[in-house]
A and B are shown apart, each in its own frame.
Chain A
Amino acid sequence: QKEVEQNSGPLSVPEGAIASLNCTYSDRGSQSFFWYRQYSGKSPELIMFIYSNGDKEDGRFTAQLNKASQYVSLLIRDSQPSDSATYLCAVNGDYKLSFGAGTTVTVRA
């Protein structure tokens, strides 16, 4: 099983600020990386995926991947109260996903 580590939080940020979420993984052979958002009592919802080193931007979200450091991050710009949720980092080396425990983000209005 691939080990995926995330800071559990909670991470509290004011509305309009940048939320920065970090994830490290143990299997150097991992190929693809996913960020899921999970609202309380709901199922994970895909936000972004990234396969190549560097940055990938989608609206207010930016994923960053550094395979040499085995590190993935997610930035949420202009954070909104609706961004308050748990963010799950997932790593896929073949077909099954290995998840971190998630980071809980609270955006203060």
Chain B
Amino acid sequence: GAGVSQTPSNKVTEKGKYVELRCDPISGHTALYWYRQSLGQGPEFLIYFQGTGAADDSGLPNDRFFAVRPEGSVSTLKIQRTERGDSAVYLCASSLTGDSGADTQYFGPGTRLTVL
């Protein structure tokens, strides 16, 4: 079946601009996660959705970052007033239930964001 998809694959923007990154999880997965990966580092957790609600947004670095999942499927990560330090690969993952540590997360191909 189809895996997690993310669009766009690459996004180049100018400092101060607004960007939206989209994630389409595996069909039937209720849990969705956003991570950010900088060069040479492992992914860092940003936010976790259980259904339509953000169950944990403790990883969002500041209030310029916001994410939604209005219908419990597709999610959009929104970054306002982008800064050069926001440049990274943004990874989306989904899992079947998210309600236990044993639930396996499957990653999408990521969106490479470059802020000039």
A residues with a Cβ closer than 8 A to B are: 1, 4, 30-32, 34, 36, 42-46, 49, 51, 88, 90, 92-102
How far is B71's CA from A18's CA once the two chains are assembled, in angstroms? 47
Tell me which of B43, B48, B98, B101 contacts A99 (CB under 8 A): B43
Tell me which of A44, A49, A95 contacts B98 (CB under 8 A): A95
The 20 sampled A-B contact pairs (Cβ below 8 Å) are A1-B45, A32-B101, A36-B107, A42-B109, A43-B91, A43-B109, A43-B110, A44-B107, A45-B107, A46-B106, A92-B101, A92-B102, A95-B55, A95-B95, A96-B33, A96-B48, A97-B35, A97-B45, A99-B44, A101-B40
Tell me which of A31, A43, A46 contacts B108 (CB under 8 A): A43
B residues with a Cβ closer than 8 A to A are: 31, 33, 35, 40-45, 48, 55-56, 59, 91, 95, 98-110
Residues of chain A within 8 A (CB-CB) of B95 are 95
Min distance, Cβ A98 to any Cβ of chain B, angstroms: 7
